[in-house]
Every structure is written in C-alpha cells, then in structure tokens.
A = this chain, B = another copy of it.
Amino acid sequence: MNFLEKRILEEGTVEPGGIIKVDSFLNHKMDIGLLNEIGAEFGRLFAEDRVDKILTVEASGIGIACIAAQYFKTDDGKMPPVVFAKKSQTLNLSNDVYHATVASYTHQNENIIRISKKYLSAGDRCLIIDDFLAAGNAVAGLCEIIKQAGAVCVGVGICVEKAFQPGGKRLLDLGIKLCSLAIIRLDDSGGIYFVRREQ
C-alpha cells in the first residue's frame, strides 16, 4: 500500500452514489506535505516524458498541479508552467480560447472549459494532472483542447481513480499513458480497497 492509499483508508469515506470523500487532505483542506509526496511521485513517473506544460481544470486540480510542477524540469531547466482550464467566461479571459464541454458528476452540471489560445501552442508536450478520475470527462475535455491546439498529451497523472467508473479504460483505449496513484474499488458493503493496473 502506498502513502496515498494508506491516507485514503485512514481518512477517506464513501458516500451514497459512490462518492469518495477525501476532502480532509486532498480537495478542500489540502495537506501540503502530502501534495509534495504526490508531486514527487508524478515527477518520477513522468520523468522521461519531457513535459513542457502541466494542464489541469479548476478548481481542485490546481494546488496538486502547482506543487507537482516543482518536481519537473523543462528543456531550459525551469519548472514547467501550470495552465488551468477555466469553467466560466470571466472579464479577464479573452474570447480567443480553445474550449470543450465537460459533464461533472459531483457538480451535476455541464461546463464549458476554456484555455486561452495564447497559453497552449502546437507541439507543447502537456501532462494533465487532476485529483480524481471517474467518468474521465474532464480529462477528455483537456485532451480535446490539446488536440485543437496541435499540442501533445504525454500523459495523465491522477491521484484517485475510481475503477468502478469508465474513465481509466476510456483513456487507455485512446493510447494515453495513465498513472493513477490510488485505484479504488468498493466491496459489497461499500468498503474501499485498491487495485493495481496491469502494465
């Protein structure tokens, strides 16, 4: 059992509808020491992938992505920037954006996610980082935006994947390198256990 699986067993809970609550350390109150362990692990898993940019979706992926960026170096020796897709059209976001439509299970709505065309360029080697992978809609939306820009998705780093939802298979079927630090199944009584993906 790795550090994240251990923490999930200690503090995570399962709510009706298969909602995994890890908001005491990951996506509401954030344990910055843990985020550094997660970032270091992503740095190790994607060390050979020459990451130019880290992409995520607001809001809960942002902190994880920013901490993780510290464990990467671009070709010029700097930490890669983090670009987060925005869920709302604000006055300080121009109209010149790549966009995709994303359904959210936990929010029970649909969002258009947007990244300014200025911040994603053809050929950019992008790593997607997010807290959860369930249906895979948010990641698929980011992949769609990466494709629109002519950029490349070199991989997807996920903290918690729900094996009982289709996101993992969906990304693997697209040939995407997917690394999830904890892959959760639920037993008949709703208890959490972890599985490993066959490589």
Interface residues of A (CB under 8 A from B): 15, 17, 19-21, 23-25, 27-33, 35-36, 58-59, 62-63, 65-67, 69-70, 78-84, 86-88, 90-93, 105-108, 115-116, 118-119
Among B63, B83, B105, B108, point to the contact of A28 (Cβ < 8 A): B83
Interface centre among A21, A24, A27, A91 (most CB of B within 10 A): A91
> Could you tell me if A29 and B82 are in contact, using CB atoms closer than 8 angstroms?
yes
**Besides the known contacts A15-B91, A23-B116, 4 further A-B residue pairs in the complex with CB atoms under 8 A apart:** A15-B92, A24-B119, A29-B81, A59-B84
Contacts of A106 in B (CB 8 A): 90-92
> Could you tell me if A31 and B63 are in contact, using CB atoms closer than 8 angstroms?
no
The copy count of this chain in the complex is: 2
Contacts of A90 in B (CB 8 A): 106-107
Give the complex CA separation of A87 and B86 in angstroms.
Answer: 14
Answer whether A32 and B63 are a contact pair too, CB < 8 Å, given A24-B118, A107-B90.
Answer: no
Pairs across A and B, CB under 8 Å, 17 listed: A19-B91, A20-B92, A24-B118, A29-B116, A30-B82, A30-B83, A32-B66, A32-B70, A33-B78, A58-B58, A59-B59, A59-B86, A59-B87, A63-B66, A90-B107, A91-B106, A91-B108
Measured between C-beta atoms, what is the minimum distance from A37 to chain B in Å? 12
> Could you tell me if A93 and B62 are in contact, using CB atoms closer than 8 angstroms?
no
Measured between C-beta atoms, what is the minimum distance from A10 to chain B in Å? 15
Among B30, B83, B92, B108, point to the contact of A21 (Cβ < 8 A): B92
In the complex, residue of chain B having the shortest beta-carbon distance to the beta carbon of A36: B70
> Could you tell me if A33 and B91 are in contact, using CB atoms closer than 8 angstroms?
no
In the complex, residue of chain B having the shortest beta-carbon distance to the beta carbon of A29: B119
Answer whether A81 and B23 are a contact pair too, CB < 8 Å, given A59-B62, A63-B65, A66-B67.
Answer: no
Contacts of A63 in B (CB 8 A): 62-63, 65-66, 82, 84
